[in-house]
Amino acid sequence: MPQPVPVEAPTAWNGPALSESDWLIPLPPACSRALDGQPEQPAPPDLAELAARVARRVRHGRGFVVIRGLPVAGRTDQECAALCHRLAASLGTPWPADPGGFITVADNAGLGKTALALTPHTDRTPAPHPPKLLGLLSVRPAAHGGETLLVSGHTVHNRLLAEAPWALPRLHRDFHFGRGAGFDRVRPVFRRHGDELRVHYNRRGIERAHHEAGAPLSPDDHAALDAVDRLLADPRTVLRLLLRPGDLLWLDNTVVLHGRTAFTDPPAPSAARCLTRAWAD
């Protein structure tokens, strides 16, 4: 493995040091009308200009943006999902509509469909590779909690290089990340791709996949993953955002990890917290 070097780019940030100007893009009024079009149609000029701004900020800025002001009021959850997918189509090659793309509390579902806290992670998805881009559109907030947590994987790498360099050689080697049809079999946490450093991390997924593969994690493996988890929980690295209805978070899934705090939904008959999700390359 080549000697690890620090990432010196705007993507290496600490949450508390960021301001709204680093990540917020208000939705231009003309784009609200453009988003009502069909995904297979060419993007209107206003939407194409917005997409270019978002792409620049994601690729050459902090690795994520929040587009504020999508018209979700008065729309069904399915219509909101279509808005999210429409913007995904203007930003890249969208994945097919995700039948599990409504992130709400559900019985007998994974952690993403519960009200429990989620530690920062990247999406791993049943596909030949993880999605490059992830979009999360806030339709309804929770009654309490449910803050979005964002962490720069490049900052985690840089701090490991400074504080726990012994962990990086293991993290640049493969871990199991999932088993079953379509899931990635093995992948390192950090991987160089040309001049880019790509990040892929899901502690719970790693532990479950190694157990299912009959390849228990060694004490050194656990120690390296624990070093990552300590930095993901460090308030000095984490950006906490309470997404408003109509906020669309768009991030580079190979750079920025996302999670959330636990939340409480309002009592029935009020509608539960809901986000819609889209993936794109």
11 domain residue, yes or no: no
- 200 and 78 assigned to the same domain: no
- Tell me, yes or no, whether 266 lies in a domain: yes
Does the pLDDT of residue 86 top 60, yes or no? yes
- Stretch 97-123: mean pLDDT: 65
Mean pLDDT to the nearest integer, 252-278: 89
pLDDT tier at 265 (50, 70, 90 boundaries)? Answer: confident
Q: Is residue 194 part of a domain?
A: yes
Q: Would 61 be classed as within a structural domain?
A: yes
Q: Is residue 7, in this structure, part of any structural domain at all?
A: no
If one compares 218 and 40, the residue with the highest pLDDT of the two is 218
178 with 124: CB under 8 angstroms?
yes
β-strand partners of 151: 257
Q: Is pLDDT above 80 for 143?
A: yes
pTM: 0.90
Rounded to 5°, the CA angle 207-97-103 comes to: 55
Q: What tokens does 41 get?
A: 């149609």
Residue predicted with more confidence, 36 or 128: 128
Among 198, 214, 232, the domain-final residue is: 232
Residue 254 domain boundaries:
18-152+242-280
Asked if the structure places residue 237 within a domain, the reply is no
Q: Are residues 166 and 139 in the same domain?
A: no
87 and 179: one domain? Answer: no
What is the rounded average pLDDT for all residues in the chain?
86
User: What CA–CA distance (Å, rounded) separates 44 from 62?
Assistant: 26
